[in-house]
Amino acid sequence: MSRRPEQLTPVYGLHAVAAALAAGRGRELWLARKEGAATVRLRNLAEAGRVRARRATAEEIRVHAPQGGDQGCLLLAAALPRLDIAALVARLEGRAHGLVLLLDRVQDPHNLGSCLRTAACFGVDAVIAPSRRSAALTPAAVKVASGAAERVPVVAVGSILDAVERLKGAGVWIFAADESAPQPAAEANLTGSVGLILGGEGSGVRTSLVRAADATVTLTPSGAFTTLNVAAATACLLYEVSRQRRAAGG
């Protein structure tokens, strides 16, 4: 039986391409950039991974990278490794300081990419998102993530509610971000194994998930001016987790 050809995906953006090459996902590197430090770095990474590098025109790259061809590089790469919810739960079982981000119906790939970038900065174990009615990990999201997609797996699930229950069974304490919550995040205990649920643009966290959470937290006091999008709110909450854990020596 003949082997099915490998399905390749385009990766663009200097940081995303470099990270994918370093992770061993590269198959062919296209360069339209003038020779410089960035180009040399990409060529060296490609050579180290035995990845063919070739010259390409800016127009060729823009066909595959309409939103990022201006950076003059494109990598044809193998798909990101997949992690399913069962494997994630097994990793978190018994962990004292696990950290998971759950994104409920975040539909803008740029917000997903920004959340991934912040998640990588703060040591998040995985990002969980619904497989439907949510932004997928598209090349645009990978570019915005600036290499974080190689560090933080995105776990696509059929039901976030089911994922919440499975995480709770593994000892993960679930907090839902809710503007109307009585407790500010700074007053909650975020030092243990934690899952944070944040809602999508404009809709927030669904009521069913708020009810399933162990607790709700808010970022701002009642009546405050609130214009944070999900990416900014994610950054604030993950910083608060990090602050508390440093203070606790965790």
pLDDT of residue 223: 52
What's the pLDDT at 228?
A: 79
CATH fourth-level superfamily of 85-248: SPOUT methyltransferase, trefoil knot domain (3.40.1280.10)
Which whole-number Å values give the CA distances from 53 to 11, 44, 68, 225, 231, in the listed order?
14, 10, 19, 50, 35
pLDDT-derived band of residue 200, with 50, 70 and 90 as boundaries? Answer: confident
204, pLDDT greater than 90: no
Q: Using one digit for the tens of pLDDT, what is the confidence trace for 60-80?
A: 998 888 766 678 899 999 999
Domain extents for the chain? Answer: 8-78, 85-248
pLDDT of residue 250: 63
Is 6's pLDDT higher than 80? no
pTM over 0.85: yes
The Cα–Cα gap between 67 and 48 comes to 28
Give, in words, the CATH class of 8-78.
alpha beta
Q: What is the pLDDT of residues 80-113, one digit of tens each?
A: 999 999 999 999 998 889 999 999 989 899 999 9
